[in-house]
Structure 1
Amino acid sequence: MSRKKLVRFKENELNPNVVQDGKPIFENIKGNWNESQFFNSNPIVVELACGRGEFAVGLARVFPQNNFIGVDIKGSRIWKGSSTATAEGIKNVAFLRTQIQQLDKFFDLGEISELWITFPDPFPRDGDEKRRLTSPKFLEMYKPLIKAGGTVHFKTDNTGLFDYTLELLQGRDDIEVLGFTHDFYQSEWKDEHFGIQTRYEKMFSDKGEKIKYLKFRFKD
Structure 2
Amino acid sequence: MGRNKLARFRQNEENSNVIQEGKDIFNIIKGNWRSAQFNNNNPLVVELACGRGEFTVGLGREFRDQNFVGVDIKGSRIWKGSTIAIAEGIDNVAFLRTQIEVLDKFFAENEISELWITFPDPFPRDGDEKRRLTSPRFLEMYKPLLQKDGLIHFKTDNTGLFDYSLELFKSREDIEVLIYTHDFYASEWKDDHLGIQTRYEKIFSEKGEKIKYLRAKFI
Q: TM-score range by the shorter chain?
A: over 0.9
Q: Which aligned pairs between 1:75-154 and structure 2 lie closer than 5 A?
A: 75-154=75-154
Determine helix, strand or coil for the equivalent of 1:69: strand
Instruction: Work out the CA distance in 2 between the residues paired with 1:59 and 1:180.
Output: 21
Determine helix, strand or coil for the equivalent of 1:116: strand
2:4 aligns with 4
Q: Which aligned pairs between 1:190-209 and structure 2 lie closer than 5 A?
A: 190-209=190-209
Question: Aligned-pair distance for 1:189?
Answer: 1.1
Residue deviations 1:61-83, cap 9 Å, x none? Answer: 00000000000000000000000
Query: Aligned-pair RMSD on alpha carbons?
Result: 0.3
2:49 aligns with 49
Q: Which aligned pairs between 1:156-171 and structure 2 lie closer than 5 A?
A: 156-171=156-171
2:182 aligns with 182
Question: Aligned-pair distance for 1:188?
Answer: 1.1
Residue deviations 1:175-206, cap 9 Å, x none? Answer: 00000000000011110100001000000000
2:13 aligns with 13
2:39 aligns with 39
Instruction: Work out the CA distance in 2 between the residues paired with 1:27 and 1:204.
Output: 37
Instruction: Give TM-score scaled by structure 2 length.
Output: 1.00
Instruction: Work out the CA distance in 2 between the residues paired with 1:188 and 1:109.
Output: 33
Instruction: Work out the CA distance in 2 between the residues paired with 1:47 and 1:55.
Output: 8
Q: Moved runs in structure 1, 4+ residues, more than 3 A?
A: none
**One-letter amino acid of the counterpart of residue 131, structure 1:** R
Instruction: Work out the CA distance in 2 between the residues paired with 1:52 and 1:150.
Output: 25
Instruction: Work out the CA distance in 2 between the residues paired with 1:83 and 1:190.
Output: 28
Question: Aligned-pair distance for 1:165?
Answer: 0.2
Instruction: Work out the CA distance in 2 between the residues paired with 1:30 and 1:169.
Output: 27
- What is the aligned-residue identity percentage? 74
Determine helix, strand or coil for the equivalent of 2:191: helix
**One-letter amino acid of the counterpart of residue 118, structure 2:** T
Instruction: Give the gaps of 5 or more residues in structure 2.
Output: none
1:72 aligns with 72
1:62 aligns with 62
Instruction: Work out the CA distance in 2 between the residues paired with 1:119 and 1:80.
Output: 18
Question: Aligned-pair distance for 1:93?
Answer: 0.3
Determine helix, strand or coil for the equivalent of 1:193: coil
Instruction: Work out the CA distance in 2 between the residues paired with 1:71 and 1:164.
Output: 23
**One-letter amino acid of the counterpart of residue 52, structure 2:** R
Instruction: Work out the CA distance in 1 between the residues paired with 2:115 and 2:137.
Output: 16
Determine helix, strand or coil for the equivalent of 2:71: strand
Residue deviations 1:74-128, cap 9 Å, x none? Answer: 0000000000001101000000000000100000000000000000000000000
Determine helix, strand or coil for the equivalent of 2:147: strand
Instruction: Give the gaps of 5 or more residues in structure 1.
Output: none
**One-letter amino acid of the counterpart of residue 146, structure 1:** L
1:27 aligns with 2:27: yes
1:215 aligns with 2:215: yes
Determine helix, strand or coil for the equivalent of 2:192: helix
